[in-house]
Chain A
Amino acid sequence: MNRRHLLATAGLGLAAGALSACAPSSSSPAPGGSGGTTLTVWSWRPEDKDAYATFFQKYQDSHPGITVAFQTFKNTEYPQVLTTGLTGSNGPDIAQVQAYGKLQPYVDGGNLLPLDGEIAGLDKIDKAALAGATGRKDGKTYGVPFAVQTIQMFYNKALFAKHNLTAPTTWDEFIAVNDALLAAKITPIAVGGKDAWTLPVVHEALGSAVYGGIPFRDEVVAGKTDFTDPRFVASVQVLTDLQKYLPANVVGVSYTEAQSLFLAGQAAMFPGGSFEFGFFTSQNADLELGVFQVPPAPGAASSTALTPGYADGSWAINQATAHRAEALELLTWMASPEYGQLFADALGQMSPIEGVAPSQPLVAEMAKNYAEHPSRYLLLTDFRWGSPLGTDVMGNKLQELFLGKINATGVAEGVQKGIATWFTPSK
């Protein structure tokens, strides 16, 4: 091909691209038949595209005339893409939206349709997850949550067995396990303190029972106490007490290094979210993975161990959609146990919908722990509505704690000071 041909071809290609970009997507005929409706659904999960294709195929089979066009975007670019889509004219009918504080800009902007009274089955969805899809100011529900994440301690079963250890049920047993591992020159608990966002998760895994979980949450939200409360300080103190069991120079260790330490068997435990399960099993299929809830430390406000939970996000309807009824019908299906089961089986995650049983035994165990002893990832579910985010302040303050710059009281005071810039207790 000579130069002129090449240029001509390139020019044609460009022109064709430009033309197709101008064509409105809704004018393309729906394969479901003439006169059908195409519902556009946007998501930040390109890795789950195939799974969603099978879910929506099932829906299309039982709903002739409806075509679901599932489009995914890179998760780091998704917020900007969605903002543009929802405020402009070429937005989706249904969008995957983030939870809690990150939902609010769209609620405040009037971009999403309130779903109360429109969708059957909303009352059968986990409350902590539903709170993530609720408008802060008006208390209305704006989305159908798709997954629940729980926080617990993962452990390497083979490594435990090799050193004659079992999952601890009391604090003393937990400390004994840590000491035994330390004596065997194994890092007991893998923590990547360089990535500040992981530290509030670690705090929840180790300290939620110490501050007491939901009762404390209710008090702090109502303004009856604040984060300088001795219960919260004690929960932070637990991290200082356990620092010798974390990797040396923990603030210099990154999250991925902590994962590698655990995957390589150089560390025996990993405090983390249920979302780690998929990554751990995909990286090392031979890893014998177990989970346990960290037993309450002496003097803890809760007598039982707790599993904190939170929602990732939900499916919401664009206020500007031209297919409101069809979108509501699809979302009603996505709030049903039938859909929840498809989701849980295909993606190995916990569905927030009542009556859905996870198919993976370990996920089922995490779900059971959460159902029996639920708590909330407090700084995420209730303190991410303003700047600075509760989780950000906590992450930075915990780094200072591990660096020896401040103590547990300093962390609690720092969190309170940061949040007080925007948080006013509800009446």
Chain B
Amino acid sequence: MVHAVQVVPPTRRRRALGAHLGLASALGFLAPALLIFGVFVLYPMVTAFSYSLFSWSGTARGGFAGLANFVSLFTQEPYATEVPRAFGHNLLIFVGTVIGQNTIGLALAHALHHTTRGRRLFQTLYAMPYLVSPVVIGYLWTLLLSPTFGPVNKVLEAIGLGQLAVPWLGNPDTALWVVVLVAVWQWIGFPVLLYGAALGGVPPELTEAASLDGAGGWRRFRHITLPLITPAITTVTVLGFIAAMESFALPYAIGGSSGTPAGATDVLSLVFYRTAFESGDSNGIGLSSALATCLFVFIFGVAVLATRLMRKREESLT
């Protein structure tokens, strides 16, 4: 990609485009996509933002409330307790999944890169859970980890590890980490594929030259492979961040809308869901829209910032 930009400078490309395609025809081609984007993405987002600025009584819009809904999110119970707690859980999910995906995912991709037999098979196998809905995955894991009927604890007991047969999803100290592990397990196919492609793009002559110069396996990885696959790490991390901040289906399937046990698996999307659809608060629309706006601004801001910083780092590494 970097090379392509160097070959065709942006200014020349824009002029070339203009020469072949008038503005009207360009807009004509863009119109369907713009229309769909506008109706299904932009309009709801702007509406949600505008909703957050009003007070609501049920479905009827009340007066202009300014930032009152945003203030309520951080001062009014139960939100003042639930929002920071849920935010903390989102961050833990992010840290856990990113560490898991960037270590296990990279290790698996690296191992597959150096094997020829069965590579396709394993890539497919790793990607399989990724193709199943998180709701189904979450439900399956609740069955597997059930303290009454679940096979996981039965197996642990059978092999003499009875002290590890804890109520995984019933204990607040383990429940969130189960969510993290299941998320890592489910999405591991994605970093494996991405890192597989990135590793395939590392020119073999570079590593060969380095090994001729006497560089060992770790030094070759650290100083050649790693810098060259940093763009893939950026992608995995940023997408992992967005997924962790937005995560809903998996925590919902595992802990229900209240984030059981005792709020240990509560995340921001669940707080939003409860406020918007399950609360008795007649200002539910205003508060939930405010929460959605905050969440969007935070995810967008961090994602942009992270991409910028990591791109800089990539440049310094290459």
Task: Give B234-274 as 1s and 0s: 1 = Cβ < 8 Å from A's Cβ atoms.
Answer: 00000000000000000000001010111100000000001
* Neighbour of B258 across the interface among A105, A109, A396, CB < 8 A: A396
Q: Given the complex of chains A and B, what is the CA–CA distance between A421 and B72 in angstroms?
A: 12
**B76 and A252 within 8 A (CB):** no
- Expressed in whole angstroms, the minimum distance between the Cβ of B259 and any Cβ of chain A is 9
The 0/1 profile, CB within 8 Å of B marked 1, for residues 235-253 of chain A is 0000000000001111111
Which of A79, A104, A195, A399 has most chain B Cβ within 10 Å? Answer: A399
Binds A, one of B22-30, B218-226, B279-287: B279-287
Q: Is A108 an interface residue (CB 8 A)?
A: yes
Q: Is the contact region of chain B dominated by helix, strand, or loop, or is it mixed? A: loop
Is B57 at the interface (CB under 8 A from chain A)? Answer: yes
Between A79, A101, A254, A400, the greatest number of chain B beta carbons within 10 A of the residue's beta carbon is seen for A254
Determine whether B148 belongs to the interface, using a CB cutoff of 8 Å to chain A: yes
Bound-state CA distance A235–B277 (Å) is: 30
User: Closest chain B residue to A83 by CB distance?
Assistant: B59
Q: Contacting B260 at CB < 8 Å: which of A194, A260, A387, A417?
A: A194
> Which residue of chain A is the closest to B62 with respect to CB atoms?
A108
Give the Cβ gap from A396 to chain B, nearest Cβ, in Å. Answer: 5
Least CB distance, B178 to chain A, in whole angstroms = 11
> Of A86, A260, A405, which one neighbours B59 at CB under 8 angstroms?
A86
* Chain B residues, CB < 8 A from A247: 147-148
Partner of B167, one of A80, A252, A260, A384: A252
B53: A residues at CB distance < 8 A: none
Complex contacts, A399 vs chain B, CB 8 Å = 260-262
Q: Is A92 an interface residue (CB 8 A)?
A: no
Q: How far is the CA of A102 from the CA of B77 in the complex (A)?
A: 19
Given contacts A108-B282, A254-B142, A418-B78, contact A87 B258 (CB under 8 A): no
Contact A253 B147 (CB under 8 A): yes
B contact residues around A421 at 8 Å (CB): 76-78
> What does the 1/0 interface line of A38-63 toward B look like (CB < 8 Å)?
00000000000000000000000000
CB neighbors of A among B282-312 (8 A): 282, 284, 287
Beta-carbon contact of A106 and B261 below 8 Å: no
Q: Which of B60, B78, B262 is close to A109, meaning CB atoms less than 8 Å apart?
A: B60
Interface presence of B101 (CB below 8 A)? no
Given A87-B59, A396-B263, the answer on whether A251 and B258 have CB atoms closer than 8 Å is no
Distance (whole angstroms) from the CB of A208 to the closest CB of chain B? 22
Q: How many A-B residue pairs have CB under 8 A?
A: 125
Name which of A250, A387, A399 has the most chain B CB atoms within 10 A of its CB: A387
Among B5-13, B103-111, B168-176, the stretch in contact with A: B168-176
Please judge, given known A-B contacts A251-B167, A403-B172, whether A104 and B261 are in contact too, CB under 8 Å.
no
How far apart sit A384 and B282, CA to CA, in the bound complex (Å)? 11
Is A387 touching B284 in the complex (CB atoms < 8 A)? yes
**Interface contact B262-A101, CB-CB below 8 Å:** no
Q: Which of A110, A261, A389 contacts B279 (CB 8 A)?
A: A389
Across-interface contacts of A212 in B (CB, < 8 A)? none
Asked if A193 is at the interface (CB within 8 A of a chain B CB), the reply is yes
For residue B201, CB closer than 8 A to chain A, the reply is no
Interface residue tally for chain A (C-beta within 8 Å): 50
Interface pair B169/A194, CB less than 8 Å apart:
yes
Task: Tell me, in angstroms, the Cα distance from A393 to B277 when the chains sit together.
Answer: 17
By the criterion CB–CB under 8 Å, are A400 and B262 in contact? yes
Q: Which of A79, A110, A389 touches B60 (beta carbons < 8 Å)?
A: A110
Contact call B59/A111, Cβ cutoff below 8 A: yes
Provide the bound-state CA to CA distance between A104 and B263, in Å.
26
Complex: A108 Cα to B282 Cα, angstroms = 8
A248 touches B147 (CB 8 A): yes
Q: How far is the CA of A313 from the CA of B256 in the complex (A)?
A: 23
Which residues of chain B in 108-160 are interfacial with respect to chain A, using CB atoms and an 8 Å cutoff? 142, 145-149
- B277 — which chain A residues lie within 8 A by C-beta? 79-80
Contact of A253 among B77, B170, B171, B281 (CB under 8 A): B170
Q: Is B162 an interface residue (CB 8 A)?
A: no
Contact with B along A378-403 (1 / 0, CB 8 A): 00000011111100110110011001
Which of the residues B146, B280, B287 comes within 8 Å of A257, measured between beta carbons?
B146
Residues of B within 8 A of A249 (CB): 147, 166-167, 170-171
Instruction: Apart from A249-B166, A252-B167, A252-B171, list 17 A-B contacts with CB within 8 A.
Output: A80-B277, A104-B280, A105-B57, A105-B282, A108-B58, A108-B59, A109-B60, A111-B59, A197-B256, A250-B170, A252-B147, A386-B280, A387-B79, A389-B279, A392-B278, A418-B78, A421-B78
| Residues in chain B within 8 A of chain A (CB atoms) | 57-60, 76-79, 142, 145-149, 166-172, 256, 258, 260-263, 274-275, 277-282, 284, 287
Nearest 6 Cβ contacts at the A-B interface: A252-B170, A252-B167, A105-B58, A101-B280, A249-B167, A108-B58
